[in-house]
């Protein structure tokens, strides 16, 4: 009996042990299987969503959290996440995505031809998710106040209408394109141009009356990789307000191809808004120079700037501000573009010829819009670029970028890598040799601002100095004693060493290797001759709406500049 009892106890113990093992395995394996299954379903769902996005005529983008209360345009349910169209503004839940693609048309960039010419088009109404604080065009009361899918918005003129105010006549009424009618390229214009191209006719000016009298179509060129990475958001906001065909992502299409649209628009009427840093602006201006070479001078656009870079000195000089972080609505930016005045900007050719008897390489040639420098500020830019190339993910913020510049500037104050520059270089202004004092850097300026917002040529403003303009064919040449001297100038505690103004600047680096930069693009340069000569003019837009204390002293100068431009025109 005892043996039987002990064997039964042993058997139950084994069963208990196996039971423990089984449930332990279940506890470990089951969550893993559930996780794998969820991961598989999620990846499968993402593939299906991407497939719908790829085939759709809508410009769908997926978001995990909408920035304002949103309702699905298909099932009318409240949604926290889902897809939205960057062009027409539709918002749908993930499950209704395919159905929304079938039910709703997106903005048509070109009207479908039915054999006749068009000079108007009806409203394109979308129900629900109207902008906050929008008013009904019929009763003038606020729209979108109810917590449900309600009210209508026209994707072209942006007018909103209450559900109860919507009448049959509004559905067929001609769309006026709203506040920005003078900036929008209407779909019927493009369909007419397309038909003319098929008929091999190029007199596009005759199509302008189909649009409106004071038409100044705008082209948006946004660099999504600039500065604070706001380009992607801006692309969507501009596509909502304008014809999507007017909005280009420079990370996907080169400026030269985007500017081909200018040749299909009225002569001397197009305005271009460049969203990016000074480097992006230079890239676009180079593409415009190519248009001149091709004989397309009459299609040359005027250029405005929305500053997304780090320094933004050219933007600051032209009145567009030192940096954009979303504080101004996109609608106001378009108003500023409409109201801006046209001016000219000098562009300069910088030729760097290496020294040496056996040098067979061609001279390096750059185009300068802002400034050329040799010395401590070029060294800071060179160190910054080397650091950014190693870890580009760290440099997505304008504040971080400026902090890194500050670090390298402080380091140079201690090390003084560019000292005794006056013994290493010779400077000629319009062929006349300049005797240099003890310097660490030389800066050649074309514009008023330098170093992220400093008016270098003016300095403290307590000494008389010749006026500096960016359309007079003259360059301003200054010297600095080092990084600490640069910092003093930026906070108006010191003046630069003004070396003079000239139409042609020649700098000879006799020995050693020195850092140089043109418009923030740095490199290390050995013995060479640098020659800076006038290249051409660029047509820019000047915004006079925002003026700082530093700008007040140069207001009369800018007014004179615009008067001179008007006389030239």
| pLDDT per residue as tens digits for the range 356-395 | 756 667 889 999 999 999 988 888 878 776 666 666 656 5
How confident is the model over 122-150, as a mean pLDDT?
Answer: 90
Do 259 and 199 contact (CB within 8 A), yes or no? Answer: no
Provide φ and ψ at 91, rounded to 5°: -130, 130
Residue 562 has pLDDT above 50, yes or no: no
Adjacent-strand bridge partners of 540: 303, 343
**Least confident interval from 334-338, 427-431, 556-560:** 556-560
The better pLDDT of the pair 419, 271 is held by 271
d(C-alpha 560, C-alpha 568), whole Å? 12
Contact 485, 375 (CB under 8 A): no
Calpha distance 26→248 (Å, rounded): 54
Please report the pLDDT score of residue 566 as a whole number: 45
Q: Measuring CA to CA, which residue among 251, 273, 246 is closest to residue 332?
A: 273
Write out the two tokens for 167: 């009448």
The residue among 168, 166, 187, 163 whose CA lies nearest residue 177 is 187
Which pLDDT value is given to residue 409? 54
Q: Where would I find the H helices in 199-261?
A: 231-241, 255-258
b/e code 56-83 from CB counts within 10 Å (16+ = b): bebbbeeeeebeeebbbbbeeeebeebb
Residue 425 has a pLDDT of 92
Q: Mention every residue, 6+ apart, whose C-beta is less than 8 A from residue 386.
A: none
3-class DSSP assignment, residue 63: strand
DSSP assignments along 110-132, one per residue: SPPP-SS--S--B--EEES-PPT
The conformational region for residue 59 under phi > 0 = left, psi -120 to 50 = alpha, else beta, is beta
Selected residue with higher pLDDT from 44 and 511: 511
The CA dihedral of 279, 284, 289, 291, to the nearest 10 degrees, is: 160
Average pLDDT over residues 131-140: 89
In this prediction, residue 560 carries a pLDDT of 46
Q: What is the average pLDDT across 155-176?
A: 87
**17 three-class SS:** helix
Q: What is the pLDDT of residue 486?
A: 82
**Separation between Cα atoms, residue 216 and residue 12, nearest integer Å:** 90
pLDDT bucket at 13, cuts 50 / 70 / 90:
confident
Question: Using CA atoms, how far apart are residues 530 and 329, in angstroms rounded to an integer?
Answer: 43
For the chain, state the CA radius of gyration: 31
Q: Is the dihedral of CA 395, 399, 405, 411 positive or negative?
A: negative
User: Using 50, 70 and 90 to split pLDDT, how confident is the model at 255?
Assistant: very high
Lowest mean pLDDT, pick from 133-147, 194-208, 482-496: 194-208
Cα 21 to Cα 16: distance, rounded to the nearest angstrom: 9
Read off the tokens for 160: 């909103």
Determine phi and psi for 148, rounding to 5 degrees: -165, 175
Q: 500 - beta bridge partners?
A: 477
pLDDT at residue 509 is higher than 90: yes
Q: How confident is the model at residue 33 (pLDDT cuts 50, 70, 90)?
A: confident
Q: Give the residue, 9 or 350, on which the prediction is more confident.
A: 350
Contact between residue 485 and residue 494 where contact means Cβ atoms under 8 Å apart: yes
Q: What is the pLDDT, as a whole number, of residue 241?
A: 94
For residues 477 and 544, the model is more confident at: 477
Average pLDDT score over residue span 81-87:
91
Given pLDDT bands bounded at 50, 70 and 90, which one contains residue 121?
Answer: confident
Say if residue 490 is exposed, middle or buried (CB neighbours under 10 Å; 0-12, 13-18, 19+): middle
> Nearest to residue 327, comparing CAs of 307, 343, 313, 297?
307
Q: Tell me the domains of the chain and their CATH numbers.
A: 50-107 (3.30.60.20), 121-178 (3.30.60.20), 181-193+203-339 (3.40.50), 348-536 (2.60.200.40)
Per DSSP (E only), the strands in 186-336 are 218-222, 247-249, 271-276, 302-307
- 59 near 87, Cβ under 8 Å? yes
* Percentage, residues of the chain above pLDDT 90: 42
Work out the pLDDT band at 400, boundaries 50, 70, 90. Answer: low
pLDDT for the residue 552: 45
H or E segment at 402?
A: helix 398-415
Distances (CA, A) of 505 to 168, 418, 446, 495, 509: 69, 21, 12, 22, 13
What is the dihedral sign for C-alpha 492, 498, 500, 504? negative
How much of the chain, in percent, has pLDDT values that exceed 70? 83
Name the 3-class secondary structure at 192: helix
Average pLDDT of the chain? 83
Per-residue model confidence as pLDDT tens digits over 434-493: 999 999 899 999 998 988 778 889 888 777 888 888 999 999 999 998 888 888 888 888
Tokens coding 83: 């897809």
């Amino acid at each position: 009996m005892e043996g039987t009892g002990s064997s039964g106890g042993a058997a139950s113990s084994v069963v208990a042990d196996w039971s423990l093992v089984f449930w332990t395995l279940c506890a470990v394996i089951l969550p893993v299987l559930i996780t794998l299954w969820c991961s598989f379903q999620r990846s499968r769902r993402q593939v299906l969503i991407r497939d719908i996005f790829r085939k759709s005529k809508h410009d769908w983008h997926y978001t995990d959290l909408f920035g304002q209360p949103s309702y699905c345009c298909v099932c009318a349910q409240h949604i926290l996440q889902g897809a939205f169209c960057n062009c027409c503004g539709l918002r749908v839940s993930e499950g209704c995505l395919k159905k929304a693609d079938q039910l709703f048309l997106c903005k048509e960039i070109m009207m479908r031809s039915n054999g006749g010419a068009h000079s108007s088009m009806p409203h394109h109404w979308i129900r629900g998710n109207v902008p906050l604080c929008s008013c009904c065009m019929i009763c003038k009361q606020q729209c979108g106040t109810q917590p449900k899918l309600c009210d209508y918005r026209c994707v072209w003129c942006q007018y909103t209408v209450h559900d109860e105010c919507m009448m049959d006549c509004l559905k067929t009424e001609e769309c006026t394109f709203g506040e920005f009618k003078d900036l929008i390229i209407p779909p019927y214009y493009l369909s007419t141009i397309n038909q003319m191209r098929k008929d091999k006719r190029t007199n596009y000016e005759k199509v302008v009356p189909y649009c409106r009298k004071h038409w100044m179509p705008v082209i948006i060129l946004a660099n999504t990789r600039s500065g604070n990475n706001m380009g992607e958001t801006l692309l969507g906001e501009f596509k909502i307000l304008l014809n999507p065909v007017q909005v280009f992502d420079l990370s996907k299409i080169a400026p030269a191809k985007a500017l081909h649209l200018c040749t299909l628009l009225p002569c001397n009427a197009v305005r271009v808004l460049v969203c990016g840093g000074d480097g992006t602006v230079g890239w676009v201006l180079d593409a415009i120079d190519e248009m001149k070479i091709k004989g397309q001078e009459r299609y040359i656009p005027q250029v405005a700037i929305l500053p997304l870079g780090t320094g933004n000195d050219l933007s600051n000089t032209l009145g567009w501000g030192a940096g954009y972080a979303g504080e101004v609505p996109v609608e106001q930016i378009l108003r500023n573009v409409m109201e801006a005045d046209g001016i000219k900007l000098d562009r300069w050719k910088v030729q760097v010829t290496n020294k040496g008897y056996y040098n067979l390489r061609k001279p390096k040639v750059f185009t300068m819009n802002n400034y050329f420098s040799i010395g401590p500020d070029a060294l800071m830019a060179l160190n910054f670029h080397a650091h950014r190339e190693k870890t580009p993910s760290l440099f997505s913020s304008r504040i971080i970028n400026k902090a890194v510049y500050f670090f390298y500037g402080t380091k140079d104050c201690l090390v003084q890598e560019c000292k005794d520059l006056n013994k290493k270089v010779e400077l000629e202004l319009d062929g006349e040799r300049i005797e240099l004092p003890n310097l660490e850097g030389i800066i050649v300026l074309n514009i008023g601002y330098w170093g992220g917002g400093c008016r270098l040529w003016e300095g403290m403003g307590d000494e008389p100095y010749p006026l500096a303009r960016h359309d007079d064919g003259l360059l301003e040449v200054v010297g600095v004693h080092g990084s600490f001297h640069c910092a003093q100038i930026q906070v108006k505690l010191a003046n630069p060493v003004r070396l003079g103004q000239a139409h042609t600047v020649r700098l000879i680096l006799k020995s050693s290797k020195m850092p140089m930069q043109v418009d923030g693009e740095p490199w290390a340069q050995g013995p060479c001759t640098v020659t800076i000569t006038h290249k051409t003019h660029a047509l820019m837009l000047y915004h006079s709406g925002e003026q700082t204390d530093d700008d007040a002293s140069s207001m009369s100068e800018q007014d004179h500049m615009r008067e001179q431009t008007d006389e030239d025109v």
